[in-house]
Amino acid sequence: MQIFVGLGNPGTKYAGNRHNIGFMALDRIAEDHGFGPWKAKFQGQLAEGRLGSEKVLLLKPETFMNLSGQSVGEAMRFYKLEPGDVTVFHDELDLAPGKCKVKTGGGHAGHNGLRSIHAHIGEAYRRVRLGIGHPGRKELVAAYVLHDFHKADQDWLDDLLRGLSDGAPQLAAGDTAKFSNAVALRTAPPRSSKTPEKHKPAPAAKTARPEDTGGGEEARNPLQRLVDKFR
């Protein structure tokens, strides 16, 4: 059994915030893979289902971001799981919008949700870092993450969420390379190698030969025929 955790803040006020992209990821996975209904448990919302052959619990802590670890720790201890059984989906300022990176362990880089999880279960859990970009200055970060995604962001955001859902079974199986590839197929699909018809080079002009124009005396140079006449 595994726990996939999505980080965010509860309530409609925060639903569209950049900080809530973890919640959005779990909602898409739950919908696409037929998970059971969300139920209040472990100070959060919990849904149960399967990804491939793996039983997975989806958990959205409702303790607000800064206390996310309380919910995660409670669920992990109840099911007697290890930090390595936990995967956390969260917003990442240090990645460009739409980028996705997977890592295990390491610091929390100032992310308050991760800081809280570190305090409750340690750092040896897996993270799916979801790029939202950086506002440019540190003092703008709080307002930036607590602001809704812009309308112009919706296309790449939808592609990213679809990719996360597509690759979720591979992530549950521990194949992060196939998971990352599934995400990339949505966010950066390969271009066709076929040359469009309008860009194909025109065929080279064919040089006419005498036999192509009917052959015989009529096809020969008139001057050459005159020379031949007096030979």
* Catalytic sites, residue numbers: 19
- 143 φ/ψ sector (left φ>0, alpha ψ -120 to 50, else beta): alpha
Look-up of token digits 């009917």: 214
* 5: nearest Cα among 90, 66, 63, 65: 90
* DSSP codes, 64-81: -GGGHHHHHHHHHHHTT-
- Tokens standing for residue 28: 């898409």
Sign of the C-alpha dihedral, residues 115, 117, 119, 125?
negative
Beta bridge partners of 129: 90, 101
